[in-house]
Structure 1
Amino acid sequence: MSILSSMTSSSKTLSVVQRESFFDDSFFKDSWEDFDKAVQSILDKFDDTGLKVDTGSRSKCRDVYSRIRSSKIDEDLYASQALQITEKDGKFQAVMDVKDFNPSDLQVKVVDDRVVVEGKYEKKSEDGSSMSSKSFYKEFTMPPSADIDHVATALSKDGVLTVKAPKREGDAAAKPAGALTSSSSASSSSFSSSSHQSSSSSTSMSSTKKVSMSSSSSSSFSSSALSSNMGMDSLEDMTKDMKDRLVFSHENVNLKLPQ
């Protein structure tokens, strides 16, 4: 499904509640561990000092993460972004760093069974003569049992966004081990990333560059039964790999600012 077609579906824009700093506000307490995991994943990818995030090292690790993010964001909006998705007992939760995106341009929507997060990243050149602008787009598919009518989102003042959907009331309780009925129907997803770059003394574009890629790091869910030969090890692997379906897209436009 293309981004355009998904956005023409029935959608609802959510109100983003403004909160205090992420680790100082107990409202976010059940997301602290998830964000620590998100930061750890970026440290594991880009830092070679072996830092491990825990309550004692959290501040230092976040400082290192921030430096990594600052140095990498102009290369790729997403590769260095702390992001963690959790689906458990029919509930959905996403926590992500959006500190570098303009809060006034940050928007969260529910589109059918998906959560869409959009924003804008802008940066002036060192001499202040030009502006770089990139659009930010992420899409998450929620599990069938999540209550899409009660999706809630909040933004800490230090730029951590949470999106949560409770389990829909009336759904059957989770089945005990040995009576599992939900499975991953397709362990694949599409990642698309487009970049349009231009630089001129007017607002006209002079060049366009597009890049697309694909990966298999997410899964969608259905109510079909697990095959008889899928044991608990397979289920654990599936849960470990369980991620949101992400569609990444951004545009990069350099405009000459008036003197």
Structure 2
Amino acid sequence: MSIISSMTSSSKILSLVKRESFFDDSFFKDSWEDFDKAVQGILDKFDDTGLKVDTGSRSKCRDVYSRIRSSKIDEDLYASQALQITEKDGKFQAVMDVKDFNPSDLQVKVVDDRVVVEGKYEKKSEDGSSMSSKSFYKEFTMPPSADIDQVATALSKDGVLTVKAPKREGDVAARPAGALTSSSSTSSSSFSSSSHQSSSSSSTISSTKKVSMSSSSSSSFSSSALGMESLDDMAKDMKDRLVFSHENVNLKLPQ
């Protein structure tokens, strides 16, 4: 009985606060820089003109990013998505572009020590005869010092989602370096993926793809380790704790 109990997950759906446009709403001010970095990452990956995001070029850069996103999203749901994760002083923050996903299907929930973001992306064919649907799924493991009970989310009118978790009150910061790792960490880095595809005579095709990455035991998030790690190492550690999956469904619409 105790084994069964320990495997049971607790889940809570979070209220998604609707706000004004991302860069026009001061509520998001502490996330502006993070989103600029996220957009810069996509530009560096797909644009060869050397554009750099700053206050003056922000509008132009977002336009270029939007064109890249539109052209790449059908190839890979995640590769062209602006996403930035930061952890500082025990606090967690994620900002991501979810403009292409149906807001009515967008859901954020807490499952144990993780935050799960789910949604749906739908697109009609050019001739309007069929529709493509992909499910959106991202999972974040919170750092041990983050207060999972105080996770808050907000969605801007132009489709930028923020997820924040403050530092837990009374948390003891002084812990040995290397003592804190994500709940999915193992003694060595691991990478696993699985895919499934099936079709039927009704012209319905579905496929699922899941990729999970776990950080190695050397990845730590204690206050003493944060002072030693480079920003690149921190970014890699945080990206290693993401789980991506999506499902594609093509439906033949009635004539």
Q: Shorter-normalised TM-score: what interval?
A: 0.7 to 0.9
Give the superposition deviation at 1:193.
Answer: 6.2
- Mean Cα deviation higher: 215-224 or 80-89: 215-224
Give the superposition deviation at 1:245.
Answer: 1.1
Give the superposition deviation at 1:243.
Answer: 3.3
Unaligned runs of 5+ residues in structure 2 are: none
1 CA distance for matches of 2:49 and 2:3? 39
Gap change, CA 1:45 and 1:186, over 3 Å in 2:
farther
**Cα contact 1:81–1:96 (8 A) shared by 2:** yes
2 CA distance for matches of 1:11 and 1:128? 38
Residue in 1 that maps onto 2:47: 47
2 CA distance for matches of 1:160 and 1:98? 6
**Cα contact 1:91–1:166 (8 A) shared by 2:** yes
2 CA distance for matches of 1:170 and 1:117? 28
Using the size of structure 1 for normalisation, the TM-score is 0.80
Q: Deviations 1:191-241 (Å, cap 9, x if unpaired)?
A: 666666677773654888888899989956479989xxxx93668744665
Gap change, CA 1:5 and 1:23, over 3 Å in 2:
farther
Gap change, CA 1:209 and 1:78, over 3 Å in 2:
closer
2 CA distance for matches of 1:7 and 1:131? 38
Give the superposition deviation at 1:242.
Answer: 3.7
Gap change, CA 1:109 and 1:94, over 3 Å in 2:
same
1 CA distance for matches of 2:212 and 2:176? 42
Q: Deviations 1:117-171 (Å, cap 9, x if unpaired)?
A: 0000000001111000000100001110101111000000100000000001111
Gap change, CA 1:198 and 1:130, over 3 Å in 2:
farther
Identity %: 94
Using the size of structure 2 for normalisation, the TM-score is 0.81
Gap change, CA 1:185 and 1:25, over 3 Å in 2:
same
Which secondary structure does the structure 2 equivalent of 1:169 belong to? coil
**Cα contact 1:147–1:167 (8 A) shared by 2:** yes
Gap change, CA 1:193 and 1:233, over 3 Å in 2:
closer
How many residue pairs align between the two structures? 255
**Cα contact 2:95–2:163 (8 A) shared by 1:** yes
Gap change, CA 1:190 and 1:79, over 3 Å in 2:
farther
